[in-house]
Structure 1
Amino acid sequence: MKSALEELAHSNFFSENYKFKDDSLYAHAFFKNNEKEKKLRSHLDEEQIRLLNEYCDTQSDLEELDDTDNFIYGFTFGVRMMIEVFQDSSPITGARILDD
């Protein structure tokens, strides 16, 4: 069973996954990547395409695992910062006293 953070990292709490504007930096990189992949595939035979597909699948699996770990680490780090703030009982006045 996945943890709540893993579910959140995989966008399983949302009805729609990522959308992007056609003029965004992400869109430009996405479309450029697609064009490069099409060009590469046009030079490959069936066996090479099968191998490329397998490579892309395993690379995607690795990226998903890495992204999930990074999300959970970042989220947990943020929560720890919040806990530290709530545990600090000194008033926030705007003035700071620095230790020598």
Structure 2
Amino acid sequence: MRTTLEDLYYGNITPNEQQMTPDSELEKAVARVTKYENQLMEQLEEIDQETLTKLIRSQHEINSITATENFILGFRLGVRIMAECMDDNDGDIRTGG
């Protein structure tokens, strides 16, 4: 536990920064998106490229917000599960509660 707390204090825990596993489904999907984005950019006029870039940036922002919210919700659920596990008076018939 102390190691985790020290890592958190010193900024060594960064759940939003993860390396993609080589040849994973995620890496393959990212490669496809990049390929199609580049193909589309080549076909568009400059003004349309700017619009596409804005769309992509906006989608990245949505993805970031969603990832943050999902992390928080998952963390809260984990804490609730831990709290419930620690409750000695939870009605378990084996303990007489």
Relative to the length of structure 1, the TM-score reads 0.69
Give the root-mean-square deviation of aligned CA atoms: 2.8
Distance of 2:67 and 2:55 partners within structure 1: 18
Q: Which residue of 1 aligns with 2:83?
A: 83
Unaligned stretches of 5+ residues in structure 2: 1-7
Distance of 2:70 and 2:29 partners within structure 1: 22
Structure number with higher helix proportion: 2
Q: Which residue of 2 aligns with 1:53?
A: 53
Q: Tell me which amino acid in the other structure corresponds to 1:31.
A: A
Pick 1 or 2: higher relative contact order, CA cutoff 8 A, min separation 6.
1
**Identity over aligned pairs, percent:** 28
Relative to the length of structure 2, the TM-score reads 0.71
Unaligned stretches of 5+ residues in structure 1: 1-7, 91-95
Distance of 2:12 and 2:67 partners within structure 1: 14
Instruction: Give the total of aligned pairs.
Output: 83
